[in-house]
């Protein structure tokens, strides 16, 4: 597909980190650097808007707010709409910023389903393939046992001081938005670590489930050096490999990175839905890939997981793990997501993706 981003040389004169990550491989090629992103082979950047299949705002919305150049974004979108082209835009970070124009596609990791815009879609959290990185590409699937084995490795402590800090921080951030001082959209006052601890305790105390939890006080165990980061990451993914299910509940922003890590490992996420938007949800039947628990039902998390586990045939249990790995590879890795980006641009299709 042909993509218009405006003046290509001007766009690529900016630092790579400021661009939307769709453009990273093209930036590398422009700088005569090697690129490993296969999705870029399906796209061509063009200099003329009339030649494009769709247009891409080259920087996230955050960039135009921060650098006080919103008019630049508006002019780009106006030029594209005059040429009758669809415009794809991105928002980066844990918290979203409102797009300045409603009639554009907005892709972002965070966001609330109840507040979803007509053309708003979820961006996966892209992770390097953990199977290739830590297990020499050897994807192993577990056989079904009598009880579900649920794992978790990460922050899950229950501290009233931490809760108070998060609460005050969220109030302050929301207040700045309402006062017009900040452009970041208001967020629910959601104590994710406290809620995570609560769900973990339900599993730990239950006779219906087996657990393997590694509870950390700090993000990534406080790792600082590259060796420490690799060690804690290996521990994290070994915990996933050695369990059937992994608890996936939002962090600071209203999305879960862990769900993509779990799928990449070929395991089954226990996904706590906090009004989330999931990638390709108009095509993917997410409830067939995860154990789905709505926020209001977290006190019954162990019962919901046990019921799911008992109902699935041993062959289907192994098959679901394989399907989840394939789902990540084909649609939720960076190559997979951007290879399928046209599905979001042409949303008239009503078919489901079959994995």
Residue 184 maps to which CATH number?
3.40.50
Any idea which of 2-6, 163-167, 198-202, 308-312 has the lowest mean pLDDT?
Answer: 163-167
Distance in angstroms (rounded) separating the CA atoms of residues 220 and 341: 31
Q: Please determine, for residue 34, whether its predicted confidence score (pLDDT) is greater than 80.
A: no
- Do 72 and 174 lie in one domain? The reply is no
Boundaries of domain holding 326: 130-339
| Site of tokens 């599905």 | 343
**Using the 8-state DSSP alphabet, how is residue 299 labeled?**
G
Tell me what the mean pLDDT of segment 200-208 comes to.
Answer: 96
Q: Is the dihedral of CA 241, 242, 245, 251 positive or negative?
A: negative
Residue 163's pLDDT is: 66
The model's pTM is 0.93
- Do 111 and 246 lie in one domain? The reply is no
Q: At what angle do helices 192-205 and 160-178 cross, to 10 degrees?
A: 140
Q: Please determine, for residue 352, whether its predicted confidence score (pLDDT) is greater than 60.
A: no
Query: Which residues make Cβ contacts (< 8 Å) with residue 32, sequence separation at least 6?
Result: none
Of 56, 42, 43, the closest CA to residue 11 belongs to: 56
Tell me what the mean pLDDT of segment 192-217 comes to.
Answer: 93
Residue 350's pLDDT is: 46
Give, rounded to a whole angstrom, the gap between the first and last alpha carbons of the chain.
Answer: 24
- Do 68 and 167 lie in one domain? The reply is no
In a domain, 327, yes or no: yes
- Do 267 and 195 lie in one domain? The reply is yes
Confidence of residue 108 (pLDDT cuts 50, 70, 90): very high
Tell me what the mean pLDDT of segment 260-268 comes to.
Answer: 98
Any idea which of 79-93, 153-167, 190-204, 245-259 has the lowest mean pLDDT?
Answer: 153-167
Confidence of residue 188 (pLDDT cuts 50, 70, 90): confident
Higher pLDDT, 33 or 235: 235
Confidence of residue 84 (pLDDT cuts 50, 70, 90): very high
Grouping H, G, I as helix, E, B as strand and the rest as coil, residue 269 is: strand
50's tokens: 């009339």
41's tokens: 């082979």
- Do 239 and 92 lie in one domain? The reply is no
Distance in angstroms (rounded) separating the CA atoms of residues 23 and 12: 9
């Amino acid at each position: 597909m042909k993509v218009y981003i405006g003046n290509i040389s001007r766009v690529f004169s900016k630092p790579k980190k400021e661009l939307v990550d769709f453009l990273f491989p093209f930036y590398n090629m422009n700088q005569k650097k090697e690129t490993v992103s296969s999705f870029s082979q399906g796209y061509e950047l063009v200099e003329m808007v009339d030649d494009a299949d769709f247009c891409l705002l080259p920087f996230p919305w955050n960039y135009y707010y921060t650098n006080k150049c919103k008019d630049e974004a508006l002019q780009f979108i106006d030029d594209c709409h005059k040429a009758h082209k669809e415009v794809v835009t991105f928002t980066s970070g844990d918290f979203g910023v409102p797009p300045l124009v409603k009639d554009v596609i907005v892709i972002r990791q965070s966001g609330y389903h109840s507040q979803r815009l007509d053309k708003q879609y979820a961006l996966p959290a892209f992770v390097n393939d953990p199977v290739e990185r830590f297990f020499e590409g050897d994807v192993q699937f577990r056989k079904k046992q009598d009880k579900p084995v649920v794992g978790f490795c990460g922050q899950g402590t229950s501290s009233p001081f931490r809760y108070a800090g998060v609460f005050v921080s969220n109030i302050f951030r929301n207040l700045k938005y309402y006062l017009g001082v900040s452009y970041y959209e208001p967020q629910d006052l959601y104590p994710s670590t406290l809620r995570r601890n609560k769900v973990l305790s339900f599993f730990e105390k239950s006779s219906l489930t087996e657990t393997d939890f590694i509870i950390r006080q700090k993000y990534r165990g406080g790792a600082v050096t590259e060796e420490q980061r690799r060690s804690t990451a290996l521990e994290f993914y070994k915990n996933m490999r050695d369990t059937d299910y992994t608890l996936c509940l939002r962090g600071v922003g209203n999305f879960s990175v862990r769900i993509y890590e779990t799928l990449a490992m070929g395991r089954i996420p226990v996904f706590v839905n906090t009004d989330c938007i999931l990638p390709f949800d108009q095509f993917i039947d997410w409830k067939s890939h995860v154990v789905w628990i709505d926020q209001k039902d977290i006190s019954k998390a162990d019962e919901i997981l046990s019921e799911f586990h008992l109902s699935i045939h041993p062959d289907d249990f192994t098959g679901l793990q394989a399907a989840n790995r394939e789902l990540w590879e084909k649609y939720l890795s960076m190559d997979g997501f951007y290879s399928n980006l046209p599905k979001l641009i042409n949303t008239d299709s009503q078919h489901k993706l079959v994995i």
